[in-house]
Amino acid sequence: MRSHLNLTHYKTQSEDTSIDAELMQFGRSCQLSASQKLAFLKRIIQRGLKLVCWGIHQQSPNGDNLTFKQLYVRRRWGELFATYSDNNLFDEREPLMIEDPIAIAYKIIDKLNLLNIPYYIGGSVASSLQGEARFTQDIDLVIYLELSQVEVFIETFSSDFYVSDVAVKDAILGVSSYLNLINFESLEKADIFISRSDDFSRSQMNRRQLYVPEENPEQAFYLCTPEDTILQKLVWMRIAQNESQKQWRDILGVLKIQRERLDLDYLWQWSEYLNISASLNQAIQQSGIM
């Protein structure tokens, strides 16, 4: 693997990891099956959630179900969601069901399939399955939803999720960039992005790939391509005008793991269109591709 890399500008994912150690680690990662990658990511997320729960129990060891739920939401999603959920989502009689974002994604995908709404999973779940796995708070789904489908969309999801009809319409009309779905049982949150009509958005939806866990093929789901994961994260960094180390590490992880399978022509073409070619060039150099 090393002989095919240009290590002049290569940057490891962590400063305390040597290049040889990382190449060995990523070489092993490339050999994992789809089921193994998914199981590994779930373990990472579940460990993170257990730490959150442990911290809450330390903070309030004698708290009841209601107190635990309130503290859990504040730890996970912040004060804005907690203020709303205090009055709307909590059932103090029921304990909180701890589920990872991927389990919630399956519940959402089942309903999207029922409505024949195209979708794909993006964000850090996608980059974790395509590159370096890491803990992620929630899940991002991109869906193609028309204004005429809003009523049936809300009706279908409202039995199991908190969903705002105003937020759905605002997301479709472009007033906001996304909407939230919050599961009543687990209080897990999904960020739903509405696919736009521009060329890049259409390309992303058209190129989505079916991710099939070999051990459970019935649990297959659509994932954005590695190229589109890289491009989208570079776009987010440009729009936010920040240098998020998590996002940059995600980008490098996908480039390093997928490097022999990437469509570089596609990456360069769309990086010019999206005005992110300088950032892409830097990422490609730091991943050792050129």
What are the structural domain ranges in the chain?
Answer: 18-224, 225-290
Quick one: pLDDT band at residue 271, thresholds 50, 70, 90?
very high
pLDDT number for residue 5? 86
Quick one: pLDDT band at residue 67, thresholds 50, 70, 90?
confident
Query: Is pLDDT at 185 greater than 60 in this prediction?
Result: yes
Range 104-143 burial, b when 16+ CB lie within 10 A, else e: bbebbbebbeeeebebbbbbbbbbbbbbbbbebebbbbbb
* Mean pLDDT (whole number) for 190-209: 96
Query: Tokens 């990523």 — which residue?
Result: 26
- CA separation (Å) from 115 to 45, 160, 204? 29, 15, 20
Query: Tokens 């796995």 — which residue?
Result: 133
pLDDT number for residue 162? 87
Q: Please write the tens of the pLDDT for every residue from 240-250.
A: 877 778 999 99
pLDDT number for residue 83? 61
Quick one: pLDDT band at residue 152, thresholds 50, 70, 90?
very high
At 215, is the secondary structure helix, strand, or coil?
A: coil
Residue 121 in contact with residue 139, Cβ under 8 Å? Answer: yes
* Mean pLDDT (whole number) for 268-283: 96
- CA separation (Å) from 144 to 2, 62, 105, 234? 41, 45, 16, 22
Q: Please write the tens of the pLDDT for every residue from 97-120.
A: 677 889 999 999 999 999 999 999
Residues of the chain with pLDDT > 90, as a percent, come to 63
Written as one letter, the residue type at 286 is Q
pLDDT number for residue 80? 61
Q: Please write the tens of the pLDDT for every residue from 17-48.
A: 999 999 999 988 889 999 999 999 999 998 88
Its pTM stands at 0.89
* Mean pLDDT (whole number) for 204-214: 97
